[in-house]
Structure 1
Amino acid sequence: MSQKQVFPDNFLWGGAIAANQAEGAFDADGKGLSTADMVPYHKKKDYTNLSALMHVTSESITEAMKVKTAEGYPKRYGIDFYHRYKEDIALFGELEFKVFRLSMNWSRIFPNGDDAEPNEAGLQFYDNVFDELRKYNIEPLVTLSHYEMPMTLVLNYGGWKNRKVISFFEKYAETVMNRYKDKVKYWLTFNEINTTIIEPFTGGGIVGDREENVQQASYQALHHQFVASALVTRKAREINPEFRIGCMLARMIHYPATSSPEDVLQAQVDNQLNLLHTDVQVWGSYPPIAKRYFEENNIQLVQEPEDEQFLLENTVDFISFSYYTSLISTTTPEKYGVTGGNLYSTVKNPNLKVTEWGWQLDPIGLRIVLKEFYDRYKLPLFVVENGLGARDKVEEDGSIIDDYRIDYFRQHIEQLAEAIKDGVEVMGYTSWGAIDIISASTSEMSKRYGFIYVDQDDEGHGTLNRYKKKSFHWYKKVIASNGADLS
């Protein structure tokens, strides 16, 4: 389907990955262990509860620390982007990416998080990556923290619940922003910051069995991340006034299961709690509903007197978010079947198709999310994650015919175009992922997202050779036409 130009001339088309899912080289060149390196591969999976597959305990951490290789821990080997970045970026250049979203692995720069000096080898690696991107006129969009917290900060400080971690994060952010001030313009502070509440270890380095009240610890950790984000935003503007700083939310819109006032109210509350995170980073203060929620759940945040002013004075320039699926809210969940989802399960929506991993496919939900975001905040929006995890088959001739992925992207980009027609300001769109990587939730390889196939199985076996899927050629056409040709 072809259409008149809807997307602005400066629209940032591209793709996204995370360091912990792609780089590998978990112990190379001075890198320290991160939280991602603690998550093993589970052969038996319950797709109705994906967050359980990311969950770790004190016991599992002890076992993981004993393992000195990458065996059994897929995020330790990734897809070897660390050594193959030139090859991969050349493919992104062939796709004519305008932007490439990647994260920097905190433990590659400061191996323990609290080191006196940064690791030069880690800094040089990202210098090389940014220089390679520049060859193809690809703008980097850098996430400072994407589930890659140094494990020393978990083991010695208790993760983000400890206020001391703020200063360590500030030092890390200031180091890389000064180093790359002429190479990177767009920065995100925390990936899917609400994950700290959904899956506390992944998002905040909180080990559940070490806490008397996990929810209390998680919200305290989240508050410290809000303060850290504000302080880093202030520092970024001092380093380079041209920087643009964004927040990042896992946006999961909630629909009411029925038209009953009870279900409608529940959906409203669930959406408000999801948007609490962007409220703080855009408006600079907690929304009114937070006070009641904290009181009813016995959550008592410890705040410093200056926190309120820090948050108010250092808000973000734009809002970025991931969108994969929509959820259902109800006061009577026992009446309905349950399906999986991104990080947590939900009541089934009978109007939507479901993937093998339990994700409910809802392209129109993206348009709804974009409109609600813009109506609420009046800030530019950036869709930095949107994609389909699916099993791909390599045909005898070497081709990968992933029409299902093309259909997914076509439908979502169509809705993105509709939102722009509605008057929503959208900066760009980076698909998840640009290339097949290790799954964040299931740590498997067979759940593939990319336009580029990587020859590796769930146990880490394969040549690691890269192959273009049918969707590669389709997306190249979309970018070349600035979204006008989706056929």
Structure 2
Amino acid sequence: MKIEFPKDFWWGAATSGPQSEGRFNKQHANVFDHWYEIEPEAFYNQVGPDTASNFYNSYKQDIAMMKEIGLNSFRTSIQWSRLIDDLEEGTVNEDAVRFYNAVIDECLAQGIRPVMNLLHFDLPVELQEKHGGWESKHVVDLFAKFAAQCFRLFGDRVEDWFTFNEPLVIVDGAYLYQFHYPNIVDGRKAVQVAYNITLASAKAIAAYHEINTNPKGRIGNILNLTPSYPATDSPEDLAAAHFANLWMNDMFLGASTKGQFPEELVGILEKDGVLWDSTDDELSIIKANTIDVLGVNFYHPSRVKQPSISSNSLAVDWMPTKYFDNYEMPGRRMNVDKGWEIYPKALHDIALNIRDNYDNIPWFVSENGMGVSREERYLNEEGVIEDDYRIQFIQEHLYWLAKGIEEGSNCFGYHLWTPIDCWSWKNAYRNRYGFIANNIHTQVKTIKKSGYWFKEVTQNNHFEILEDLTRL
């Protein structure tokens, strides 16, 4: 079965500065640099971000390899902790300006569209320690100042900007479930951080509209959308899934695309006594500075059931999971290495949700991918990793994405996570995601079978899929 895509479709891949560059010539530590410094044993095999994939030194060769596998677009991020010398004043570091200019220019020279994100979990740790990080509205203003510098320096060549990558992960990881530094568990702070990040994004968008002179320029943000499905059709499970979707998806989607948070969610947070502190002026800024374009990161669905403890129980501190419990569906398909369910049809559900409920905003799949450990198991005699599992994973997701596009969803691209195996936070290099393998001991990089396959897809703007795979 042939699956075709629209003309000028983005075929690409995504990484981030802190996961690829290494810490070379970087004057500030971000929160993950700092966490590794104080607790290296928390990271897989005690591998930290010091070298990562060496992109700071090897960007020319790396971008050439991206060209070799047919990418026409590439997303990375500008590190706040690299670009800015004085975090309060917002003055820039000249070596960082040189580096990011060189990366952008090299992408353009290779015919690859540079797509730039501003914050990928990498808040400078000084701002966490001094001001409380995203709990602070002063940090919100400092972020807008950093963003403005990026737009001034690089906006003549970068047309596609994104403010935050996966803001919900900062909220969940750093303030609820302890998988991001500073590992706080505080529901009220989590809710305030969600609001402050939304305000920071809106202020950055306002700065962009003041500064931008590129007629093709546009700005958005990147959300990890995780459709939540109920365990059964019981009213209790349906209510659990409804709240999970409000928290995981609609909170940031509504604020980003419509300029306001879902009224129902605001009412629940207010009833529970955890609603954020806001001002009318701030809410006006959020309302006036919605996104032009949306990036969607999708890896797996969420399956939920009614909570085991009443949501009205005073014995439970506030958590989103007051309103739902996770549900492990029998017989689900799993990526056992990562522990995530594989459910490509959810991408079709996302496409139709954006079409029907979010003004059919232009969007692209900004991340999708499959992390697999010990990929050297799949080396062939020529030294190529035969990652047929990744090819199948991409095919299945592209099938459902194409179906959504055919039904009118305004999707213009697909980016795999990631072009080159990169450092994955606490998991370091345990699971590999790339089209291109990276030996972290030698920094020798080799194209996997999926990279050669993807080049054919990008050249033809279509691919063939077995009908059996469309029924999984």
What TM-score, normalized to structure 2?
0.88
Q: Who is 1:384 aligned against?
A: 366
Counterpart of 1:217 (choices 175, 189, 211) is 189
Out of 347, 352, 363, the residue aligned to residue 344 of structure 2 is 363
SS at match of 1:75: coil
Please point out which of 436, 441, 461 is paired with 1:482.
Answer: 461
- Of residues 365, 368, 375, the one that matches 2:356 is 375
Q: 2:254 matched to which residue of 1?
A: 279
What is the alpha-carbon distance in structure 1 between the residues aligned to residue 387 and residue 370 of structure 2? 11
Once the 2 structures are TM-superposed, how far is the Cα of residue 132 of structure 1 from its aligned partner? 0.5
Superposed CA offset, 1:89-116 (max 9, x none): 0011112212101011110012563245
2:239 paired residue among 225, 240, 265: 265
Match of residue 222 from structure 2: 248
Contact 1:187 1:246 in 2 (8 A): yes
Determine the structure 2 residue equivalent to 1:305.
280
Cα distance, 1:207 vs. partner? 2.9
Q: For 1:350, which of 326, 330, 348 is the aligned residue? A: 330
> Could you say which residue in structure 1 is the equivalent of 2:67?
93
| One of 50, 57, 60 as aligned partner of 1:76 | 50
Distance 1:333 1:485, change over 3 A: farther
1:318 to 286, 293, 307: 293
| Contact 1:197 1:203 survives alignment (8 Å) | no
Match in the other structure for 2:143: 169
Q: Is 2:208 the partner of 1:236?
A: yes
Question: Which structure's residues are more often strand, by fraction?
Answer: 2
Q: Per-residue displacement from partner, 1:294-334 (whole Å, max 9, x unpaired)?
A: 12432142223311211111100122111000111101569
Displacement of 1:73 after TM fit?
A: 4.6
2: CA distance, partners of 1:288 / 1:204: 29
**Is this contact kept in 2: 1:140–1:184, CA < 8 A?**
yes
Q: 2:382 aligns with which of 379, 387, 397?
A: 397
Counterpart of 1:436 in structure 2 is 421
Give distance in 2, aligned partners of 1:167 and 1:361.
39
Q: Which residue of 2 aligns with 1:459?
A: none
Cross-structure match for 2:11: 13
Change (3 A) 1:390 1:62: closer
SS of corresponding position for 1:77: coil
Within 2, Cα distance between the matches of 1:160 and 1:21? 21
Distance of aligned partners of 1:194 and 1:118 in 2 relative to their CA distance in 1, 3 Å threshold: same
Give the 3-state SS of the residue equivalent to 2:294 in structure 1. Answer: strand
Residue 30 of structure 1: how far off its partner (Å)? 4.1
1:102 is the counterpart of 2:76: yes
Change (3 A) 1:477 1:448: same
Instruction: Encode CA deviations 1:123-163: one digit per residue, 9 max, x unaligned.
Output: 11100000100111111111100011111101111101111
> Which of 406, 409, 412 is 1:424 aligned to?
409
Q: 1:355 to 1:484 in 2, by over 3 A?
A: closer
Q: Gaps spanning 5+ residues in structure 2: where?
A: 310-324, 467-472
The reply to whether residue 468 of structure 1 matches residue 447 of structure 2 is yes
CA RMSD of aligned residues (A): 2.6
Alpha-carbon distance in structure 1 between the residues aligned to 2:90 and 2:368: 38
With over 3 angstroms needed to count, the CA separation of the structure-2 counterparts of 1:332 and 1:238, relative to structure 1, is closer
State the distance in 2 between where 1:310 and 1:443 align. 37
Aligned counterparts of 1:18 and 1:120: Cα–Cα separation in 2: 20
1:447 is aligned to: 431
Q: Is the 8 A contact 1:227 1:310 kept in 2?
A: yes
Look up the equivalent residue of 1:268 and give its one-letter code.
H
2:303 is paired with a residue of what secondary structure?
strand
The 1-side partners of 2:281 and 2:47 are apart by 41
User: Which of 231-240 and 79-88 deviates more?
Assistant: 231-240
**CA 1:111–1:34: 2 relative to 1, 3 Å:** farther
1:289 equivalent in alignment to 2:264: yes
Give the match for residue 162 of structure 2. Answer: 188
Q: Could you tell me how far apart the structure 2 residues matched to 1:111 and 1:117 are?
A: 6
Identity %: 29
Matched, 1:38 2:38: no
Partner of 1:339: none
Alpha-carbon distance between aligned partners in 2 of 1:252 and 1:101, rounded to the nearest angstrom: 21
Cα distance in 1, alignment partners of residues 450 and 140 from structure 2: 41
Return 380-389 or 108-117, whichever deviates more: 108-117
In 2, distance between residues paired with 1:30 and 1:400? 33
Contact 1:112/1:150, CA 8 A, preserved across alignment? no
Change (3 A) 1:207 1:298: farther
* Cα drift, residue 414 of structure 1: 0.8
Kept in 1, the 8 Å contact 2:90–2:145? The answer is no
**Are the equivalent residues in 2 in contact too, given 1:230–1:314 (CA < 8 A)?**
yes
Aligned to 1:194, the other structure's residue is in SS state: helix
Q: Pick which of 387-396 and 320-329 moved more.
A: 387-396
For 2:132 and 2:397, the matched residues in 1 are separated by 40
| TM-aligned CA distance change 1:79 to 1:108, over 3 Å | same
* CA distance in structure 1 between the aligned counterparts of 2:464 and 2:456, rounded to whole angstroms: 7
User: Structure 1 CA distance, aligned partners of 2:106 and 2:275?
Assistant: 47
The one-letter amino acid paired with 2:364 is F
Distance (Å, rounded) in 1 between the aligned partners of 2:392 and 2:363: 23
- 124, 132, 139: which is aligned to 1:150? 124
Which is worse superposed, 349-358 or 246-255? 349-358
Counterparts of 2:464 and 2:98, CA distance in 1? 39
Cα distance in structure 1, aligned partners of 2:302 and 2:180: 26
